[in-house]
């Protein structure tokens, strides 16, 4: 695992966008894994700028989202499919329908998980998986205590995650869903390269466990230590608790 500390979120976005651009230059039909939340937003803005400048194209790219809330109606603005459509897919030349997510509207959520895992397997899994990290160390919605070898599954959101995400629901904790569909840790680890972005002091403890701690289900992101090609980009605040 390679750790790079950069001065700002903008510097991180530039470095991360370089990784995506290099991938698309060598493999225009790459399979890209996307993450939601605040951390990747500067990256998505930078990718849009590079697309508009003619430097990169997503017209042959297939995308797979990490996760999706269960219990939100199809037109809810905080569904992660809406997030990705707003912040990336609709702003570039990725084909409509090319960015896939787990079907959290299904009447059979377990079957939806199996179908999504099979869809990713048919695509060969991701060439590059973009990741954020929760304050409790989750990646995707793989919460502490879950299996390190999990595949796509129905998850129960930890109270800390729901509190962290309440800001997207006007601060109303009761409005935050309690369940989700998420790629499992084993699914994420099948990506040929992982790119994790973390900014801000509130991510410092999770980053310290990720980099300095032992691999543990209590800090799910630590499974990345076993990946052969993982890049972690952080700012000084997120790196503030690192021992080395």
What tens digit of pLDDT does each residue of 164-175 get? 999 999 999 999
Task: Please report whether residue 222 resides in a domain.
Answer: yes
Look at residue 154 and tell me if it is in a domain. Answer: yes
pLDDT at 239: 98
Domain with 71 in it: what CATH number? 3.40.50.1360
pLDDT in tens, 198-242: 999 999 999 999 999 999 999 999 999 999 999 999 999 999 999
Q: Does residue 202 lie within any of the structural domains?
A: yes
Residue 134's pLDDT is: 95
Residue pointed to by tokens 């801000």? 200
Quote the pLDDT of residue 220. Answer: 97
In a domain, 244, yes or no: no
Q: Which residue has the tokens 């430097």?
A: 55
- Compute φ and ψ for 67, nearest 5 degrees: -165, 175
Relative orientation angle of helices 41-52 and 9-26, to the nearest 10 degrees:
50
Count of domains observed in the chain = 1
Residue 39 belongs to some domain of the structure? yes
Q: Is 77 exposed, middle or buried (0-12, 13-18, 19+ CB in 10 A)?
A: exposed
pLDDT tens digits, one per residue of 110-155: 999 999 999 999 999 999 999 999 999 999 999 999 999 999 999 9
Are 158 and 144 spatial neighbours (Cβ–Cβ below 8 Å)? yes
The CA distance from 30 to 2, in Å, is 22
pLDDT reported for residue 169: 94
Would residue 240 count as lying in a domain?
no
Q: What is the pLDDT of residue 238?
A: 98
In a domain, 98, yes or no: yes
Tell me, yes or no, whether 198 lies in a domain: yes
Question: What is the predicted pLDDT for the residue at 174?
Answer: 95
- Residue 89: predicted pLDDT: 97
Whole-prediction pTM value? 0.95
Domain that holds residue 158: 2-234
Active site residues: 67, 136, 138, 143
Calculate mean pLDDT across residues 58-79.
Answer: 96
Q: Tokens at residue 222, please?
A: 């630590």
């Amino acid at each position: 695992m390679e750790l790079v500390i950069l001065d700002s979120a903008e510097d991180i976005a530039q470095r991360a966008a370089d990784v995506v651009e290099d991938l698309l230059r060598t493999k225009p039909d790459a399979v890209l894994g996307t993450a939601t939340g605040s951390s990747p937003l500067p990256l998505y803005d930078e990718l849009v700028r590079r697309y508009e400048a003619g430097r990169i194209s997503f017209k042959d790219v297939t995308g797979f989202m990490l996760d999706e809330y269960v219990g939100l109606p199809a037109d809810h603005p905080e569904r992660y499919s809406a997030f990705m459509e707003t912040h990336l897919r609709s702003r570039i030349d990725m084909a409509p329908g090319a960015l896939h997510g787990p079907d959290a509207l299904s009447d059979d959520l377990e079957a939806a998980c199996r179908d999504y895992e099979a869809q990713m397997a048919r695509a060969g899994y991701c060439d590059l998986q973009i990741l954020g990290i929760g304050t409790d160390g989750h990646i995707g919605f793989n919460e502490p205590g879950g299996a390190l070898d999990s595949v796509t599954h129905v998850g129960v959101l930890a109270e800390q995650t729901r509190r962290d995400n309440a800001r997207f629901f006007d601060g109303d904790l009761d409005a935050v869903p309690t369940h989700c569909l998420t790629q499992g840790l084993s699914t994420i680890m099948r990506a040929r390269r992982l790119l994790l972005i973390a900014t801000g002091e509130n991510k410092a403890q999770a980053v310290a466990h990720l980099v300095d701690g032992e691999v543990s289900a209590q800090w799910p992101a630590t499974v990345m230590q076993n990946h052969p090609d993982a890049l972690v980009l952080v700012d000084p605040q997120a790196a503030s608790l690192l021992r080395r």
